[in-house]
């Protein structure tokens, strides 16, 4: 019988994970089935218990269940522990191992697929929600010269900076103060959810001056207000989060199956032109 995996979320109809993992399985000759599960809000544990009873080997977790998955795991990787959230589970007998590959997927997309180095660079990250939190340690491990974290609710960014103190050159700012700090960022990353509503974080225009890359974590939205602003300021490279999505999936696949699929073809298939 084929090994069973799934992505779990609510809603789940939009998820690209079944397509991505189905393609990875064909590309690598792995015998598995991968489905999408919509669990009721408040019903994560019961639904995962059931899936495990059916012999499941692993799960990807999407909104709003990453914190539930964190609580459900009985072992955590360092990245999951640091992120305070789990986006991937592996079931091995009684072991329920939680991982978080979002941050490493983002770093791989920036440094490998887009060929933009972060080491020694000034990096600006907008947002202090789940995605930003998961990206902090992988970003700092790239050894940027400075990582500036800005958030609308400043206290959240301050709390993150306290938690990650000692991990690298992390600086916190509010949007209003950013204009004074902005002496040129190499990489500007939008990890807010503003683009999901067609909104623009209140950025001073000069943050894009001289930037090599503007990266939007939301994907499939074309030119978001953030990417439009970056383009207007002359940023040469614009990207959305489709590569991050596929790269975190490849990390999960490799963790489960012991074989790393190549990602370029899947990223190309899922890319919505930025125009």
Catalytic residue list: 66
Compare residues 91 and 219 and give the one whose CB is closer to ligand NDP: 219
CA 78 to chain centre: 16
CA–CA separation, 265 and 256 (whole Å): 21
8 Å CB contact between 35 and 51:
no
Token couple for 269: 């298939």
User: What size, in residues, is the chain?
Assistant: 275
CA–CA separation, 181 and 205 (whole Å): 12
CA–CA separation, 270 and 128 (whole Å): 27
CA–CA separation, 219 and 200 (whole Å): 15
Question: Shortest gap between Cβ of 58 and ligand NDP (angstroms)?
Answer: 18
Question: Shortest gap between Cβ of 90 and ligand NDP (angstroms)?
Answer: 19
Compare residues 58 and 134 and give the one whose CB is closer to ligand NDP: 134
Residues that bind ligand NDP (CB under 6 A): 102, 127-132, 151-153, 156, 191-196, 199, 201, 217-219, 241, 244-245, 248
Compare residues 6 and 189 and give the one whose CB is closer to ligand NDP: 189
Compare residues 229 and 245 and give the one whose CB is closer to ligand NDP: 245
CA 52 to chain centre: 25
8 Å CB contact between 150 and 124:
yes
Compare residues 3 and 163 and give the one whose CB is closer to ligand NDP: 163
Comparing every residue's Cβ against ligand NDP, the nearest one is: 129
CA–CA separation, 261 and 265 (whole Å): 10
Could you tell me which of 206, 73, 67 has the C-alpha nearest to residue 130? 67
Question: Shortest gap between Cβ of 66 and ligand NDP (angstroms)?
Answer: 8
Gyration radius from the chain CA atoms: 19
Question: Shortest gap between Cβ of 81 and ligand NDP (angstroms)?
Answer: 18
């Amino acid at each position: 019988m084929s090994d069973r995996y799934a992505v779990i979320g609510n809603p789940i109809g939009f998820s690209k994970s079944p397509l991505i993992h189905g393609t990875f399985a064909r590309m690598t000759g792995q015998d598995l089935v991968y489905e999408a599960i919509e669990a009721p809000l408040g019903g994560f544990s019961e639904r995962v218990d059931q899936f495990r009873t059916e012999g499941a080997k692993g799960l990807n977790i999407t909104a709003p269940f990453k914190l539930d998955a964190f609580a459900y795991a009985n072992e955590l990787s360092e990245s999951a522990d640091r992120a305070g959230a789990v986006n991937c589970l592996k079931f091995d007998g009684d072991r329920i191992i939680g991982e978080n590959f979002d941050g490493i997927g983002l770093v791989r997309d920036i440094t490998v697929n887009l060929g933009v180095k972060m080491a020694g660079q000034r990096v600006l990250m907008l947002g202090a929600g789940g995605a930003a939190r998961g990206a902090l340690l992988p970003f700092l491990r790239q050894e940027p010269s400075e990582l500036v974290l800005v958030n609308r609710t400043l206290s959240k960014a301050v709390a993150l900076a306290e938690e990650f103190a000692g991990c690298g050159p992390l600086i916190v700012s509010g949007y209003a103060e950013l204009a004074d700090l902005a002496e040129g960022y190499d990489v500007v990353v939008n990890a807010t959810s503003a683009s999901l509503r067609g909104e623009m974080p209140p950025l001073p225009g000069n943050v894009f001056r001289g930037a090599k890359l503007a990266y939007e974590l939301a994907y499939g939205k074309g030119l978001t207000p953030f990417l439009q602003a970056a383009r207007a300021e002359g940023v040469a490279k614009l990207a959305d989060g489709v590569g991050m999505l596929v790269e975190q999936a490849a990390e999960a696949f490799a963790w489960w199956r012991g074989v790393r699929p190549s990602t370029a073809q899947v990223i190309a298939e899922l890319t919505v032109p930025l125009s």
